[in-house]
Amino acid sequence: MQKDALATARRLFERDRRRAAEPHVLETLLRFGQGALSYALRSRIRILLLRAGELYREASPALARLGIDVDAWPAPPAGLFVVEERALFLRSRSPMTVAHEFGHALDCALGGGVYRSSIDPQVRALFAGAQTFVTPYGRNRRRRVLRRIAARVRRGQRLRLPWPRATRARLRHGDPGMHDYVEMLFEHEFGERLDLGKVVSI
């Protein structure tokens, strides 16, 4: 199964053969499982790794056409998902960036070209009723809650951040409804039941 998932992950990079997949990026993607990777591939999601010094607008025709210069922002992003292109651009190869941006990609794929977390009444209701959040970042990002959770739940944070690790166990404890929703996505939308035995208590 891991071999199939690796082959599927590599195919997400195939549209630009000059930008080969890198082992540590593939390792992060494999944590999402074969189901999510196949779903992304069927949804025409693609991944491009920026070269050293390359600007986002040089890699993205949509950003260039629209005149959006994210590299001029005070804090340029480590990664970026461009909905129009269904393309994930990565400057950083850190697990957090890869998983975060792949979460955006899955959210877009689930919404058929728009972010499902923005239009799904169930996600909106879950967010509105939430008493706790996996991280303080999630509290202010209703539109991004699904992709944040989907990304972090699958791989857990490993970097030192000013908040606790975002894990499936933490989500299950703090927001059981959203936890069940994310589990449903992986089982029913991506066709891969998660191993719940690996969810430890917080």
CATH classification of the domain holding 45: 3.40.390.10
**Number of domains making up the chain:** 1
Give burial (CB, 10 Å; 0-12/13-18/19+) of 142.
middle
pLDDT tens digit sequence for 64-117: 999 999 999 999 999 999 999 999 999 999 988 998 899 999 999 999 999 998
Q: What is the pLDDT of residue 45?
A: 97
Q: What is the average pLDDT value for the chain, to the nearest integer?
A: 80
Q: What 3-state DSSP class applies to 80?
A: strand
The better pLDDT of the pair 66, 191 is held by: 66
Q: Phi and psi dihedrals of 12, rounded to 5?
A: -65, -20
**160 against 125, higher pLDDT:** 125
Average pLDDT over residues 26-51: 94
- What DSSP element (H or E) covers 61? helix 61-66
Full-model pTM? 0.81
- Residue 36: the pLDDT is 93
Quote the domain boundaries for residue 165: 2-198
| Chain segment 112-151, per-residue pLDDT in tens | 999 998 898 988 888 777 666 555 555 445 444 455 545 4
Phi first, then psi: what are they for 179, rounded to 5°? -60, -50
67 backbone φψ class: left, alpha, beta (φ>0; ψ -120 to 50): left
**Percentages (nearest 5) of helix, strand, coil residues in the chain:** 55, 5, 35
